[in-house]
Amino acid sequence: MISVRTLSKQHGERKVLVGVTAEVTKGETIAIVGPSGGGKSTLLRCLNYLETFDGGTVDICGFSLVPHMHGAESRQTLRALRTRVGMVFQQFNLFPHLSALDNITLAPRVVKRTPFPDAAAKARELLEMVGLGDRGGAFPHELSGGQQQRVAIARALAQEPEVMLFDEPTSALDPEMRDEVMRVIRDLAAKGMTMLVVTHEMQFAHDIASRVWVIDKGVIIEDGPPIQVVDNPQSAVAKEFFGRLRR
């Protein structure tokens, strides 16, 4: 489903990603963890070209991404890619002037030209799935943080993506709201959605992820099942990272 080859990116003189190579198969859930500033979010954003990169390639959902994609043909490729790869951010980024239902129907109506009745029916199904079946008419300011993030997940799912990318989706939430959102992500994992999740939720990484990537200084320094990486880390960085979280 995803193949990353020698992916590299710099911000000025600072190397953010250093020759990252990895693969993800259909139905896997990858938890991406590691010290702050190590390149986790940058890697995730490169996978759907929200951030450009300087070297290497990304093949994802049948699309090939290379450095410095410009021009009409590249824009068309990226538009098509983003209907197949959904993304959920730390901040919910809902349109404040639109209801939950209208936030979810917007992309299918605009991008795929889905008629409103069909888009609305799908949106209601998704709201039920994330536990918000009665809140379709609510505006973002009328929803809690956890509810807004669940609407954001439903909005991403409305495009019927093959891959979902989550960039620390619970970091802005209090513990109860975090649990609401993690339950939705667990349900998606159980249904076989291919997902990459940047997270500090070690319980999720341990119990739900197929594999855990530990990223430090732009490099995947450990990659393996949770029982190996979380319970028995090999690198000094991973040992210190997991040890700090357990204190």
3-state secondary structure of 180: helix
The predicted pLDDT at position 75 comes to 85
Q: Is residue 124 part of a domain?
A: no
Q: For residues 233 and 242, is the Cβ–Cβ distance under 8 A?
A: yes
Q: For residues 130 and 185, is the Cβ–Cβ distance under 8 A?
A: no
The predicted model scores a pTM of 0.93
The predicted pLDDT at position 243 comes to 83
pLDDT below 70 — which residues of the chain? 247
State how many domains the chain has.
Answer: 1
The predicted pLDDT at position 21 comes to 97
The total number of residues written for the chain in this structure = 247
Q: Is residue 151 part of a domain?
A: no
Q: Is residue 113 part of a domain?
A: no
Q: Is residue 141 part of a domain?
A: no
**Can you tell me the distance from the alpha carbon of 32 to that of 26, in angstroms, rounded to the nearest whole number?**
17
Q: Is residue 229 part of a domain?
A: yes
Q: Is residue 192 part of a domain?
A: yes
The predicted pLDDT at position 29 comes to 96
Q: Please report, for the domain that includes residue 219, its CATH number.
A: 3.40.50.300
**CB 35: neighbour CB atoms within 10 A?**
16
Query: Helices 145-157 and 116-129, interaxial angle, to 10°?
Result: 130
228 Cβ contact partners less than 8 Å away, ≥ 6 residues apart: none
The predicted pLDDT at position 247 comes to 61
Q: Is residue 61 part of a domain?
A: yes
Q: Is residue 10 part of a domain?
A: yes
Question: Starting at the edge strand that comes first in sequence, how are the strands of the sheet with 211-216 ordered?
Answer: 85-88, 163-167, 194-198, 29-33, 211-216, 219-224
Which residues span the domain enclosing 212?
2-93+163-246
